[in-house]
Amino acid sequence: MAEMDCNIPYDPIAQLILSWGATKETAPETIQQYYETTGGWEVWVQSELHVAFENNPSRIPTDSTWREPHIYANTPDDKADFLLHFHPRSSHEQKRPMSVFIELKCELFGAQDTIHEWAGRVRRDIAKIDNAVVKKDHHNVTGPYHGYAIALTKTRVADNHMRGLGMTLEPHLPGQTPGFNLWWYHRVISRCEIQNENIAFVVTISVSKAIMTVAASHIYSRLDPRNPTYNVVQLSSVQNPLEEAQFDVLLLPESCFSGTAEAEGFVSGTTEVEAACGFNNMANVVELSSFADALMTELRRLSP
């Protein structure tokens, strides 16, 4: 099966929302009425779109639709507004993702003095999409994913803010009058960016006693450990033996650190190294314990 072209957004999502807004049941007058209600129109829009997503198989062939799912592995308390999972793709549908998750914001009525605050919430949605690591165990939902931050606007001021955020305005089709503009930001999340079983090792080397302890805990990384955007630690005494042993090399993301510390429970001069060691259960046939043993053996040589 050919790989999906990751540069092509899944346009039917945006067009379906515009079509929903232009139907007889949700004519501009109805949308305006809900838009002007106290508290805004966002909750109503979400409920309506949930039905629209499930009842348009010719437009988007969903087999499951969830509201407010916990799908973010990197921020487990956060929810997406929608998660759509599609029927298996046929040979002529290679550009369609298997799943789409959506963050939705609708402009508030009469909030021109605080429109920058609303735009800030859209900006945070974009950041969620950019940084998203998707759980691989959510109801057997599979990748690749398309992530969307979508904003529905009613005023020119809001449009200008969305343009300033770098969002794309979805064009209205000829004769289409949905009563709002739709702006979207889009990111493709490939299979390798879905939550992997990477392990973080916190290694403590005591200079005075040459004592090493290793603690393993699950972490989530946005990129595949073999991706070159990771920083390889330039310690040949660690890197080369691990490569020769057919293990992943020691990797150090920017969020980790190396230096001296005098924390409670440590003797003066203790060096702490926190590193994502790149052990990936999907990529390695070796046991985790074997990898840990090799890491400890090689790092112990660094201690005087």
In tens, the pLDDT along 139-185 reads 656 667 889 999 999 999 999 999 999 999 999 888 788 889 999 99
pLDDT of residue 84: 86
Cis preceding-peptide flag for 171 (omega within 30 of 0): no
pLDDT of residue 231: 33
Average pLDDT for 243-266: 33
- Residue position matching structure tokens 């379906």: 16
Band of residue 5 on the pLDDT scale cut at 50, 70, 90 = very low
pLDDT of residue 155: 92
pLDDT higher than threshold 90 for residue 102:
yes
Point out the least confidently predicted range of 65-69, 93-97, 182-186, 271-275: 271-275
Q: When comparing pLDDT for 99 and 276, which is higher?
A: 99
pLDDT of residue 41: 92
Alpha carbon of residue 288 to chain centroid: 26
pLDDT of residue 98: 75
Band of residue 110 on the pLDDT scale cut at 50, 70, 90 = confident
Band of residue 136 on the pLDDT scale cut at 50, 70, 90 = low
pLDDT of residue 154: 93
Instruction: Locate 246 and state its tokens.
Output: 């057919």
pLDDT of residue 89: 58
Average pLDDT for 214-223: 31
Mean pLDDT of the chain: 65
End-to-end CA distance of the chain: 54
DSSP 94: T
Band of residue 217 on the pLDDT scale cut at 50, 70, 90 = very low
Q: Are strands 145-153 and 99-106 parallel, antiparallel or unpaired?
A: parallel
Q: When comparing pLDDT for 274 and 128, which is higher?
A: 128
Average pLDDT for 119-148: 81
Instruction: Locate 200 and state its tokens.
Output: 């973080």
Segment of 89-93, 105-109, 111-115, 239-243 carrying the highest mean pLDDT: 105-109
pLDDT of residue 203: 35
**Could you give the count of Cα atoms lying within 13 Å of 127 in the half-sphere of its Cβ?**
8
Q: Is 225 helix (H, G, I), strand (E, B) or coil?
A: coil
Spell out the alpha helix ranges (H) of the chain.
12-21, 28-35, 42-54, 115-131, 156-164, 236-244, 288-300
Q: What percent of the chain has pLDDT over 70?
A: 50
pLDDT higher than threshold 70 for residue 4:
no
Segment of 37-41, 44-48, 230-234 carrying the highest mean pLDDT: 44-48
User: What is the C-alpha separation between 192 and 53, in angstroms, rounded?
Assistant: 27
CB 132 within 8 A of CB 72: yes
pLDDT of residue 121: 94
pLDDT higher than threshold 50 for residue 244:
no
CB 228 within 8 A of CB 251: no
Q: Outline where DSSP puts E strands in 228-269.
A: 231-232, 251-252, 258-260
Burial of 241 (0-12, 13-18, 19+ CB in 10 A): middle
